[in-house]
Structure 1
Amino acid sequence: MTRVPAFDAVLLAGGRARRLGGADKPAAPVGGRALIEWVAAAASGASRTIVVGPPRDVLPDAVRVREDPPGAGPVPALRAGLPEVRAPWAVLLAADLPFLRPVHVAALLDAAGDRAGAVLVDGDGRAQWLAGCWRTARLRDALAAYTGASLRGVLGPLDPAMVALPAGERAPWYDCDTPEDLARADGLARPDVL
């Protein structure tokens, strides 16, 4: 692996969490810490951490912004967070990935190489658009030209590197959308050196 380039992290931590009954999903505990804290730790090499979503009593050093309207989805959230990015690379992450680690973020940045970005693919080969890294200038241009509502619609045309990583039960793309997902993640979580 080569040296990791300078990057800022944009953590998408809004949304309505319908499948969790509207609970504050990023603040939900897994393994004794909030989901958003796990994700911020995975991006701990960031020059800046930008959290898009409602105020929370975690990550006090993060830049905080809110999508308009609140809970409108990932494209409006990206539009709110991207102006705060100063580094040449932006790591875009959902705030519900408890098993993502710094080594995974570094692998994405390494795999991007000369491309516009890289995105994690799951065990079935599906792109996980909320776990990727992007050249900031290319991402800004793509977002400025995009009028739709699909994150894939913004990011897919950038032709990112698709990154498959070793998985197991604690897969880096494992996200927590339901109470069952959270319970399983909590059961799989164990003390981890971040």
Structure 2
Amino acid sequence: MQFDALILAGGRSSRLGGVPKSQLMYDGATLLARSLAASAGADAAVVVGPDPGTLPPGVLTCREEPAFAGPAAAIAAGVAALDRHRGPLRAPVTLVLACDMPKALEAVAALQLVLSGGGPEAAADGVMAVSPDGRKQPLAGFYGTAALQRAVDELENSGGLTGASVFALLARLDVRAVTVPAGATDDVDTWDDATALGVSRQGS
């Protein structure tokens, strides 16, 4: 399956005392490195957020404008960066993935399995992960590149991207929820979350 990848690595991390989520560690790797590993196979990848430091060759970086404008603005910035880099070579599908889910690889694999099977979900504008207990996670999803661009344009024209939620961005799209393994979309918002998931600061 051809796809581009957009990794969200911004945010203020206010409940973590400003410690960047992307640099937290899980099982010997940063959460950003694990997100990039989960997107392996992408034709192109972009990390949206503050300077992430050294990245694998070919991985793009950009920042939403203004900084900390929220996830919808970050997705728009990533879409624009991929378009500038790839132009007409853009993949038909874009993976959108937040960098704060240590087990994101399991979610991505489950979504890819559904898309490769060609079922009814594959005919939609996109698929997003949902936990077995019903919690939707739009920041673990594959979306049609054209549909995602259309959603960005419509939200920008109707109310603006700054401060908008991902659900607001995707509201006009036909996005199907796909159940992924338990724990695959568990994310780190607080130090209690980090402790429960086995996530730690670098060097600790």
On whether the aligned pair clears a TM of 0.5, the verdict is yes
Q: 1:103 to 1:44 in 2, by over 3 A?
A: same
Aligned position for 1:83: 80
1:97-176 to 2 correspondence within 5 Å? 97-101=101-105, 102-107=108-113, 109-110=115-116, 112-146=121-155, 147-148=159-160, 149-167=164-182, 171-176=183-188
Q: Does 1:8 align with 2:8?
A: no
User: Which of 47, 53, 69 is matched with 1:51 structurally?
Assistant: 47
The structure richer in helix per residue is 2
Q: Deviations over 1:91-129 (max 9, x none)?
A: 001011111215234135346411100000123212211
Q: 1:11 to 1:109 in 2, by over 3 A?
A: farther
Q: 1:56 to 1:166 in 2, by over 3 A?
A: closer
Distance 2:6 2:114 in 1: 15
TM-superposed CA distance for 1:52, in Å, is 0.2
Distance 1:92 1:47 in 2: 14
CA contact (8 A) 1:119 1:163 kept: yes
CA contact (8 A) 2:111 2:128 kept: no
TM-superposed CA distance for 1:183, in Å, is 2.1
Q: 1:108 to 1:63 in 2, by over 3 A?
A: farther
What is the number of equivalent residue pairs in this alignment? 180
Helix, strand or coil at the partner of 1:158: coil
RMSD across aligned positions (CA): 1.7
CA contact (8 A) 1:108 1:133 kept: no
TM-superposed CA distance for 1:32, in Å, is 1.4
Q: Which amino acid aligns with 1:47?
A: D
Calculate the TM-score normalised by the size of structure 1.
0.86
Unaligned runs of 5+ in 1: 188-194
Distance 2:63 2:39 in 1: 20
Calculate the TM-score normalised by the size of structure 2.
0.82
Moved more, 156-165 or 46-55: 156-165
CA contact (8 A) 2:23 2:32 kept: yes
Aligned position for 2:15: 19
